[in-house]
Amino acid sequence: MDRLDYLIVGSGLYGATFAHLAHKAGKRCLVIDKRPHLGGNVYCEDVEGIHVHKYGAHIFHTSNKEVWDFVNSIVPFNRYTNSPVANYHGELYNLPFNMNTFHQMWGVNTPEEAQAKIEEQRAEAKETMVAAGVAEPRNLEEQALLLVGRDIYEKLVKGYTEKQWGRACTDLPAFIIKRLPVRFVYDNNYFNDKYQGIPEGGYNKLIDGLLEGIETRTDTDFFANREYWESIADKIVFTGKIDEFYGYRFGKLEYRTVRFENEILPCPNYQGNAVINYTARDVPYTRVIEHKHFESFGQAVYDNPCTVISREYSTEWKDGMEPFYPVNDEKNNSLYLKYKALADAESNVIFGGRLAEYKYYDMAPIVDRVLNLWK
Ligand SMILES: Cc1cc2nc3c(=O)[nH]c(=O)nc-3n(C[C@H](O)[C@H](O)[C@H](O)COP(=O)(O)OP(=O)(O)OC[C@H]3O[C@@H](n4cnc5c(N)ncnc54)[C@H](O)[C@@H]3O)c2cc1C
């Protein structure tokens, strides 16, 4: 094999975007991935003609025109708009908290009525705290009650948050919820960003487009043959786990993960929306995703007589599970900084992406970071 300019470890959005730009700049690249497919966490599996987001629902959103134009130059994006619905013991509420939610919760019709209701409940929370001699919220529950009042907290925040973190809201620190945005308009669009959507034809089209003309190898773990891979390239772009790169010499970083339970159902439209959050504590899963709604709209939903859903269970991470969300607490952050100090001293390795930087990134910021590297 001719010597490579870049060996790119990981074919997720970071690795694929890097490879694309390097290839365009005339560099010789090889992309390897230990999974049996390309695309990292945005990979979709074709099940009954439906693109199933195998590693969790992915919705691209950004206000950055350069990023939006770039991804659309690879594949056009559709007009999917994320507007999740919350199910609390069979009662349905629109999210994010907006006039539709307040109407469903209290029967109020105007912003003035909704504001008055929220203010009344926030004042109650404040009084309770003052009566207990508490000046600052001591935990997430007190913080949320101060921000949105009892009804929204109990029906839409408490159970969902406890399932996500695996702990009671009274045992979680207040700082986790700095804001709980409320909108006094009838607007169910979850994101405030200017652009959002899903690649037409699915995320695999985006990854295949980025990697067009570039050599790739799946089922190939960098660590299984590290010396060889290090010997064939001038530079390595590493998007795997930074602690693994250094043989876990300071200890292992921790993550939270999500377990997915997928089901094919013999009906064309199971829940009428891509995302339904189950906000009651006694329902074990946090969300149900119905994948076809990301890419089929209106009557087209009925073109396929079946559907695929995924129930999501937020889970403690153990070795062998997918490392999804870094736990950026003090212990893990200081451990990461030890690894980062080693990484900063490397001259031939670029560490990038969510695992190598031990930081949660949405997709658009990942693309933005790589575009900036190549400017
Ligand atoms: C559950 C979930 C839902 C999300 N939803 C959204 C969303 O709705 N919108 C949004 O903008 N973002 C979302 N994200 C974030 C999005 O997934 C990330 O921004 C994106 O995946 C980051 O890409 P990456 O290349 O850094 O990482 P990854 O996609 O994880 O890619 C890393 C790749 O490296 C490979 N690799 C690791 N180690 C090795 C090794 N030793 N040898 C070879 N290959 C290796 C892995 O197999 C993987 O393919 C979500 C993330 C999660 C976890």
Q: How many CB atoms lie within 10 A of CB 287?
A: 24
The pTM (predicted TM-score) of the whole model is 0.96
Q: Where does the pLDDT of residue 180 fall: very low under 50, low under 70, confident under 90, or very high at 90 and above?
A: confident
- How many angstroms does the Cα of residue 367 sit away from the middle of ligand 1? 12
Q: Where does the pLDDT of residue 64 fall: very low under 50, low under 70, confident under 90, or very high at 90 and above?
A: very high
- How far is Cα 331 from Cα 164, in angstroms, rounded to an integer? 20
256 catalytic residue (yes or no):
yes
276: which 2 tokens? 């339904």
Active-site residue identified among 141, 312, 357, 368: 312
- Residues 205-220: b if buried by 16+ CB within 10 A, e if exposed: bbbbbbbeebebeeeb
- 1 pLDDT above the threshold of 80: no
Which pLDDT score, from 0 to 100, does residue 176 have? 85
Which pLDDT score, from 0 to 100, does residue 246 have? 98
- How many angstroms does the Cα of residue 354 sit away from the middle of ligand 1? 7
Tell whether ligand 1 has an atom less than 6 A from the beta carbon of residue 363: yes
- How many angstroms does the Cα of residue 355 sit away from the middle of ligand 1? 8
Tell whether ligand 1 has an atom less than 6 A from the beta carbon of residue 42: yes
What's at 53, amino acid-wise? Answer: H
Indicate the average pLDDT of the chain: 96
Higher pLDDT among residues 235 and 322, named by residue: 235
- Residues 119-129: b if buried by 16+ CB within 10 A, e if exposed: eebbeebeeeb
Please state, for a pLDDT cut of 70, what percent of the chain lies above it.
Answer: 100
User: What would the mean pLDDT of 298-323 be, rounded to a whole number?
Assistant: 94
Query: Integer distance in angstroms from the first to the last C-alpha of the chain?
Result: 29
Beta bridge partners of 7: 30, 236
Q: How many CB atoms lie within 10 A of CB 66?
A: 11
Which pLDDT score, from 0 to 100, does residue 285 have? 97
- 305 pLDDT above the threshold of 90: yes
- How many angstroms does the Cα of residue 132 sit away from the middle of ligand 1? 45
281 catalytic residue (yes or no):
no
Q: Where does the pLDDT of residue 329 fall: very low under 50, low under 70, confident under 90, or very high at 90 and above?
A: confident
226 catalytic residue (yes or no):
no
Higher pLDDT among residues 176 and 249, named by residue: 249
Nearest CA owner, ligand 1 atom 49 = 40
287 catalytic residue (yes or no):
yes
pLDDT tens by residue, 30-45: 999 999 999 999 999 9
Q: Strands across the sheet with 91-94, in order?
A: 91-94, 85-88, 275-278, 287-290, 307-316, 255-265, 325-326
Tell whether ligand 1 has an atom less than 6 A from the beta carbon of residue 17: no
Residue with tokens 């772009």: 237
- 178 pLDDT above the threshold of 90: no
Instruction: Let me know: does 236 contact 348? Beta carbons within 8 Å.
Output: yes
Which pLDDT score, from 0 to 100, does residue 287 have? 98
Find the farthest-apart pair of alpha carbons in the chain and give their distance in angstroms, rounded.
Answer: 74
How far, rounded to the nearest angstrom, does the alpha carbon of residue 278 sit from its chain's CA centroid? 17
Task: Give whole-number Cα distances, 321 to 95, 219, 242, 324, in Å.
Answer: 30, 17, 16, 9
Q: Which range scores top for mean pLDDT: 166-175, 212-221, 312-321?
A: 212-221
Tell whether ligand 1 has an atom less than 6 A from the beta carbon of residue 323: no
183 catalytic residue (yes or no):
yes
- How far is Cα 338 from Cα 225, in angstroms, rounded to an integer? 25
How far, rounded to the nearest angstrom, does the alpha carbon of residue 283 sit from its chain's CA centroid? 22
Could you give the domains of the chain?
Answer: 4-75+196-253+327-373 (3.40.50.720), 98-176 (no CATH)
- 320 pLDDT above the threshold of 90: no
Active-site residue identified among 35, 141, 243, 287: 287
240: which 2 tokens? 């795997």
Q: What is the DSSP letter of 265?
A: E
Per-residue DSSP letters for 180-248? ----SSS------SSEEE-BTT-HHHHHHHHTTTSEEESS--GGGGHHHHHHSEEEEEE-S-HHHHTTT
- How many angstroms does the Cα of residue 40 sit away from the middle of ligand 1? 5
Which pLDDT score, from 0 to 100, does residue 177 have? 87
- How far is Cα 234 from Cα 220, in angstroms, rounded to an integer? 19
Helix (H, G, I), strand (E, B) or coil at 272: coil
Which ligand 1 atom lies nearest to the CA of residue 325?
53
Nearest CA owner, ligand 1 atom 20 = 363
Active-site residue identified among 141, 162, 183, 254: 183
- How many angstroms does the Cα of residue 59 sit away from the middle of ligand 1? 13
Q: At what angle do helices 111-131 and 140-148 cross, to 10 degrees?
A: 140
Q: How many CB atoms lie within 10 A of CB 313?
A: 14
Q: How many CB atoms lie within 10 A of CB 170?
A: 12
Nearest CA owner, ligand 1 atom 14 = 362
Tell whether ligand 1 has an atom less than 6 A from the beta carbon of residue 40: yes
